[in-house]
Amino acid sequence: MDPVIIRKPAFKVAGYGIQTNVAEGNYTKDIASFWSDYDGENLESKMYALLNPPKHGEVGLCIPASDGGTATYLLGVIVEDYSGIVPEMLTAEVPEAEYAVFTTPPVDTSGGDQDAFVRAIRGTWKYVFEEWFPVSGYVYDDNKLDSEFYDERCHSRIDTVMEIYVPVLRCTQEEL
């Protein structure tokens, strides 16, 4: 699973999200609950209708708070400006960064079962931090934001995939 290294300019995201407590370990449960509400309340359709983004695709961001104990999880679309947002929406500006972009292994979600897809996403994150980083020549850039990108390739297909954008810095000789 080799990533593509790219430089991505800054971009704006608007959508729906939640506050979660990372320090107490609630974020996994909170984010899963949010996804259930997101699907149940048809927030994706509402978001696209209100924001009319230039391109289809949702961005999942986990934005840490300065206190270190909480974070905001935002699932939104890339927008040119925030003119279409409504009060219950959240926004974020993602700074320019160099990213290692990983594509999850393809799984069959055509029958509606998302469990294999969730496992593929978790497995990819685990691979990035436990296997790829130690031998990559890169370190995680914790001054930037990582993200997940969901486009038409992740909607009930036999070859469902999505992309994970991990901000990176090339290691110096001393760090190698």
pLDDT exceeds cutoff 70 at 25: no
- Mean pLDDT lowest among 34-43, 73-82, 129-138: 34-43
Burial class (CB in 10 A: 0-12, 13-18, 19+), 98: middle
| pLDDT tens digits, 114-172 | 889 989 999 999 999 999 999 999 999 999 999 999 999 988 899 999 999 999 999 87
| Per-residue pLDDT, 112 | 83
Arithmetic mean of pLDDT over the chain: 89
- Mean pLDDT lowest among 4-13, 34-43, 90-99: 34-43
Q: Provide the 3-class DSSP secondary structure of residue 75.
A: strand
Mean local confidence (pLDDT), 84-95: 94
Mean local confidence (pLDDT), 78-94: 95
> 37 versus 106: which is more confidently predicted?
106
Query: What's the predicted TM-score (pTM) here?
Result: 0.89
